[in-house]
A and B are shown apart, each in its own frame.
Chain A
């Protein structure tokens, strides 16, 4: 508001007649800005989610799309199939192992990223690439890298003399499992590294310097100062790693289709196989939602713990 009217007539009351512009009204404005996000979330997350819950307790299938309540029938069918239990076990193993490796490598990478050296911008860019490429696309290139006959990895091993013939990376259960985990780790480490890097950057420089002067070496500074101070962000990185591994089906689906003989099947891919390819929509939904409550609880607990840590 301008001073002009009051300046010429000092006795007049403040100019109340003026209309507030849209920019002054924060309530409606907030809604206006939030609307696209709300529409997006409701349409692409909310609706499918509610639909999935509905399907899980129905008998909907590709052949008979009419909705009938069927209680826990779909779950019963899922539980009776041993592949479901294998997929559940695989999911937990993949998630657990990936999470540990993601945090570990992410931490190492974060330390490299904050180091000051020539060409650090190039390194940072390269490091972030795996995270920025679409999962399906990068997994296809991994498919080629791990090809049973033309795998470049095998070729290198053969040239070095460590291998004769082929590894059949995706053809043997243990190697296929390792491959899937490796791809998950490869694609999520950059994200974890960037999250943890933010934590490292936030540590005041003189705290690290004080530790140096106090006589602490690299490992002591790492374990007694750096890691405790960045714990909340490490936890967040772990949570992200776990959730992305847990909910992803693209890697398994592109790489192995769950094979050989379901040894890399995870809940997400199994839900797809049953619900979409097999046409049993109800069972697919039931499988997909099976661990949702657990996941939610874990996420809430971790975020709560992070909030309570309050290290600074």
Chain B
């Protein structure tokens, strides 16, 4: 496996006016060739800082950045062979779309014909050929994003760095743009690091997801792994909506996803019986989100159950219903550190 981009022990401290801000606190990460790696984390966790450090716009306080196996700490951005799409797209406002796209090629001193050909190819691929003569201010948000992408891809970089490129788009456009991005990346197969704080985007796009919090990578893995086997309570509650339910019981936190808390009659595997006091029911795009309290599993805790539309069990607010969670769906965490721990046997019953 060739590691296109790798960071080792990366730390970044900003010297603020009043205090120091530790934006990155020791990050180790490596991408595989052609991989789509998504950095996911809450606002302010250091995603942009990490991306900018890889691009060379920010100098690390400690640690190394490697691109194609070489340490590039000392190299300025223009030699690093990375292409970045900024959150704001950062198109050159005085240049036409065509001039924007060929700008990196001009900087490479590519000759005019080759430049022109490249620009056409990129514009065709992204469906913006008819916009080449326009200025950025005459474009919609989605079109700007495509121009920014075209500008990034004409260089055939070693890696794409995308910083929340969809956050300026409305929800509908975002969904189609996400799809487009994924297809586009699969077509050209360039390694991509994609920053987002939107978990749906991360789940949908990523080959692997690095979940970050407070300058650290909390978990790195396939979307399913991150979802099904969260490394700690932060990942468990950050990913998934509604998030994983956590119930404290004799020095351990028991976690289960809302969609696994189901009426006893529909669970066929070995399962834990959990009487569930239903409080409130919401209908969301066909699913039923049931809010209520579980008391017998551990401390009385408010939890959420998500019932798919295929489960028709009648439920009424204020009543106690028989719910269960399949045993292999239970996850256990240490309450102090939040880290995963070994499974603790719970009473179970076969339904």
* A and B found bound together: yes
The interface of chain A, by Cβ under 8 A from chain B, is 204, 206-207, 209-217, 220, 224-225, 228-229, 311-312
Say yes or no: A211 contacts B103, CB within 8 Å: yes
Which residues does chain B contribute within 8 Å of A229, judged by CB atoms? 93-94
Which residues does chain A contribute within 8 Å of B244, judged by CB atoms? none
Given known contacts A228-B94, A229-B93, A215 and B104 CB-to-CB distance under 8 angstroms: yes
Which residues does chain A contribute within 8 Å of B77, judged by CB atoms? 209, 212-213, 215
Is B82 part of the binding interface, using a Cβ–Cβ cutoff of 8 Å? yes
Given known contacts A212-B57, A213-B77, A213-B84, A206 and B104 CB-to-CB distance under 8 angstroms: no
Is B76 part of the binding interface, using a Cβ–Cβ cutoff of 8 Å? yes
Task: A87 to B225: give the CA distance in the assembly, Å.
Answer: 84
Other-chain residue from A207, A210, A224, A312 in contact with B84 (beta carbon distance below 8 A): A210
Say yes or no: B76 contacts A207, CB within 8 Å: no
Say yes or no: B107 contacts A215, CB within 8 Å: yes
In the complex, 10 of the A-B residue pairs with CB atoms within 8 angstroms, ordered by the A residue number, are A210-B84, A212-B76, A213-B57, A213-B78, A215-B104, A217-B78, A224-B92, A224-B103, A224-B106, A312-B93
Which residues B290-340 have CB closer than 8 A to chain A? none
Other-chain residue from A213, A217, A228, A312 in contact with B55 (beta carbon distance below 8 A): A213
Say yes or no: B92 contacts A225, CB within 8 Å: yes
Additional 15 contacts, C-beta under 8 A, given A212-B56, A212-B78: A206-B90, A209-B86, A211-B103, A212-B76, A212-B77, A213-B55, A213-B78, A213-B84, A216-B78, A216-B104, A225-B92, A228-B94, A311-B94, A312-B94, A312-B137
Which residues does chain A contribute within 8 Å of B248, judged by CB atoms? none
| CB-CB nearest in chain A for B55 | A213
Is B83 part of the binding interface, using a Cβ–Cβ cutoff of 8 Å? yes
Given known contacts A214-B107, A215-B107, A216-B103, A209 and B57 CB-to-CB distance under 8 angstroms: yes
Given known contacts A214-B103, A215-B104, A224-B103, A209 and B78 CB-to-CB distance under 8 angstroms: no
**Residue among A209, A214, A311 facing the most chain B CB atoms (10 A cut-off):** A214
Task: A214 to B83: give the CA distance in the assembly, Å.
Answer: 7
Is B155 part of the binding interface, using a Cβ–Cβ cutoff of 8 Å? yes
Say yes or no: A210 contacts B107, CB within 8 Å: no
4 closest pairs, A vs B, by CB? Answer: A210-B90, A215-B107, A214-B104, A206-B90
Say yes or no: B107 contacts A220, CB within 8 Å: yes
Query: Contact flags (1/0) for B268-287 with A, using CB distance below 8 Å?
Result: 00000000000000000000
Shortest A181–chain B CB gap in Å is 32
Task: A312 to B77: give the CA distance in the assembly, Å.
Answer: 25
Given known contacts A215-B107, A215-B155, A216-B107, A209 and B137 CB-to-CB distance under 8 angstroms: no
Given known contacts A212-B78, A215-B78, A217-B107, A204 and B55 CB-to-CB distance under 8 angstroms: no
Shortest B152–chain A CB gap in Å is 9
Is B88 part of the binding interface, using a Cβ–Cβ cutoff of 8 Å? yes
Which residues B91-120 have CB closer than 8 A to chain A? 91-94, 103-104, 106-108
Which residues does chain B contribute within 8 Å of A217, judged by CB atoms? 78, 107
Shortest B136–chain A CB gap in Å is 9
Which residues does chain A contribute within 8 Å of B55, judged by CB atoms? 213
Which residues does chain B contribute within 8 Å of A212, judged by CB atoms? 56-57, 76-78
Task: A209 to B51: give the CA distance in the assembly, Å.
Answer: 13
Query: Contact flags (1/0) for B145-176 with A, using CB distance below 8 Å?
Result: 00000010001000000000000000000000
Which residues does chain A contribute within 8 Å of B78, judged by CB atoms? 212-217
Shortest A142–chain B CB gap in Å is 40
Shortest B19–chain A CB gap in Å is 19
| CB-CB nearest in chain B for A229 | B94
Which residues does chain A contribute within 8 Å of B108, judged by CB atoms? 215
Given known contacts A209-B57, A213-B77, A229-B93, A204 and B88 CB-to-CB distance under 8 angstroms: yes
Task: A51 to B203: give the CA distance in the assembly, Å.
Answer: 79
Say yes or no: B90 contacts A204, CB within 8 Å: yes
| CB-CB nearest in chain B for A311 | B94
Shortest B161–chain A CB gap in Å is 8
Shortest A231–chain B CB gap in Å is 8
Say yes or no: A209 contacts B90, CB within 8 Å: yes
Shortest A212–chain B CB gap in Å is 4
Which residues does chain A contribute within 8 Å of B56, judged by CB atoms? 212-213
Which residues does chain B contribute within 8 Å of A214, judged by CB atoms? 78, 83, 103-104, 107, 151, 155
Task: A217 to B92: give the CA distance in the assembly, Å.
Answer: 16
Shortest A222–chain B CB gap in Å is 13
Task: A22 to B106: give the CA distance in the assembly, Å.
Answer: 61
Which residues does chain B contribute within 8 Å of A215, judged by CB atoms? 77-78, 104, 107-108, 155
**Residue among A207, A209, A210 facing the most chain B CB atoms (10 A cut-off):** A210
Other-chain residue from B82, B88, B92, B137 in contact with A213 (beta carbon distance below 8 A): B82
Which residues does chain A contribute within 8 Å of B104, judged by CB atoms? 214-216
Task: A139 to B213: give the CA distance in the assembly, Å.
Answer: 62
Say yes or no: A206 contacts B83, CB within 8 Å: no
Shortest A121–chain B CB gap in Å is 15
Task: A215 to B93: give the CA distance in the assembly, Å.
Answer: 18
| CB-CB nearest in chain B for A312 | B93
Shortest B334–chain A CB gap in Å is 42
Task: A212 to B79: give the CA distance in the assembly, Å.
Answer: 9
Query: Contact flags (1/0) for B22-39 with A, using CB distance below 8 Å?
Result: 000000000000000000
Shortest A60–chain B CB gap in Å is 53
Task: A295 to B76: give the CA distance in the assembly, Å.
Answer: 47
Task: A107 to B52: give the CA distance in the assembly, Å.
Answer: 29
Other-chain residue from B76, B80, B86 in contact with A206 (beta carbon distance below 8 A): B86
Shortest B106–chain A CB gap in Å is 8
Shortest A83–chain B CB gap in Å is 46
Shortest A73–chain B CB gap in Å is 52
Shortest B99–chain A CB gap in Å is 9
Shortest B165–chain A CB gap in Å is 13
